[in-house]
Amino acid sequence: MNHAERLPTRQLAVGIEAGDPASVRQLVTRLVWLEDAVQSLQNELAELRASQPKVTCSGSPDAADDKCNEMKAAGEACAVAKRAGCGLTSIRKAGYTATEARAAGFTLAEMEDAGYVEGLMAAGYTAQEAKEAGYSSSEAKIAGFVNGLQQAGYQLPDVKAAGYTLEEIRTAGYSCGDAKEVGYPLEEIKAAGYVGGLKAAGYAVNDAKEVGYTLEEIRTAGFVEGLKAAGYSASDAKEAGYTLKEIRMAGYSCSDAKELGHTLQEIKQAGYVKGLKQAGLTCAEAKQAGYTCAEAKQAGYTCAEAKQAGYMPLDCKRAGFSFKDACAAGLRWSYMDNEDKWNSFVNGLEAMPVDWEGNRVW
């Protein structure tokens, strides 16, 4: 382009706006020249880049490690090292963490092959993922995994051999029975914080008491039967939170329940039957509390006491009292004069309510 004919920019713009053909041609010429100049600069830049040494981790393993170390020292991100061709083993040796390797897109299987162990849990992996990737119990310990080991399928003997403490084993999900099976004594099981599962593991109340478990912990562990045999009083059991029904199941008597201050209604609701009479309760009190005649008989009351309490002959017959018992209690019904009639008492009209004198009661 002839620079002598080059128009000033403002004049060129005015000419283009006015539709001057010469101004338009000069604009086109200038654009072509500008495009050529840009292309020339791009070519020069490409030649310059080609003449520079490439940043890559290719070559011998030692050279790759050195280059990766240089990139780490220079503050380059793990993803940059990966794009530069650095292998994951070199990346690990250079000091990039498992968290950085994961963020760069490496899989856990690749990390396992490259020797990554420390920092896996911090990188967000789970024990389940570590197990599936092939990490051993010892490696899981180094990686920091505790929670989920049992669910992931790690075997307790291997976990124990890897150096996990019993407290960690409990946190990892292994039961009291598991701990017992691999040889831990109950003293250590207690020290590790196990409470639930003692009963399922086969321990008795006495075992738990001997190593120092409190009665509250024994209750939490699910023990009921054997409390009395272990030397605990009914009062101890009540203070530890046991219900009256559990106290009965634990072997404490109706007298014990009465001494604790429970009402007869509460005693009945707890399922006590035997021992009512020994506890000093009358048959009439039992009847008033809702006990049936059959339960009164089971509790040790006689047919005479049942009669005195207000139970009818039919009640006594159904409760299992004999004709002899009824006669001794004062049965005065002329029709009911033998055992056979007594035995058929519940059939037909004889099943109607009848008092001890043979009078029907409606």
Q: What is the DSSP string of 228-243?
A: TTTT--HHHHHHTT--
Residue with tokens 């006689």: 302
**Spatial distance between the Cα atoms of 259 and 262, rounded to a whole number of angstroms:** 7
DSSP secondary structure letters along 47-68: HHHHHSPP----SSHHHHHHHH
Mean pLDDT of 59-65: 67
Report the percentage of the chain scoring pLDDT > 90. Answer: 70
Dist. CA 80–CA 68, nearest whole Å: 10
Name the pLDDT band for 60 (thresholds 50, 70, 90).
Answer: low
Backbone φ and ψ for 360, nearest 5 degrees, come out as -70, 140
Distance (Å, whole) CA 346 – CA 339: 13
Tokens of 286: 């039992």
Number of neighbours of residue 168 by Cβ within 10 angstroms: 17
Report how far residue 179's alpha carbon sits from residue 175's, in angstroms, rounded to the nearest whole number.
Answer: 6
Block residue for tokens 């990686």: 143
> What's the pLDDT tens digit per position in 336-362?
666 777 777 665 545 556 777 766 654
Look at 15-24, 136-145, 181-190, 271-280 and tell me which has the smallest mean pLDDT: 15-24
- Contact status, residue 244 vs residue 267, Cβ threshold 8 Å: yes
User: Is it the case that residue 53 has pLDDT exceeding 50?
Assistant: no
Average pLDDT over residues 40-46: 77
User: Token pair for residue 58?
Assistant: 């290719």
CA–CA gap between residue 55 and residue 169 (Å, rounded) = 48
Q: In terms of pLDDT, which residue wins out, 102 or 34?
A: 102
How do residues 224-257 score in pLDDT, each as one tens digit?
999 999 999 999 999 999 999 999 999 999 999 9
The model's confidence at residue 12, banded by pLDDT at 50, 70 and 90, is: confident
How buried is residue 340: exposed, middle or buried, by Cβ count under 10 Å (0-12/13-18/19+)? exposed
Band the pLDDT of 145: cuts 50, 70, 90: very high
The answer to whether the predicted template modeling score (pTM) of the entire model surpasses 0.85 is no
Average of per-residue pLDDT across 156-173:
98
The pLDDT-based confidence of 57 (bands split at 50, 70, 90) is low
Euclidean distance between CA atoms 303 and 280, whole angstroms: 17
pLDDT at 4: 45
Residue 333 has pLDDT above 80, yes or no: no
Average pLDDT, the chain: 89
Residue 55's pLDDT is what?
A: 46
Q: Is 108 exposed, middle or buried (0-12, 13-18, 19+ CB in 10 A)?
A: buried
Residue 354 phi, psi (nearest 5): -135, 140
From start to end of 139-292, where are the E strands? none
Element (H, E) at 143: helix 137-143
Q: Match 């250079």 to its residue by tokens.
A: 94
Tokens 């010429």 locate to 29
Helix or strand holding residue 89 (H, E): helix 88-93
What's residue 49's pLDDT? 52
Task: Specify the 3-state DSSP secondary structure of 354.
Answer: strand
Whole-angstrom Cα Rg for the chain: 47
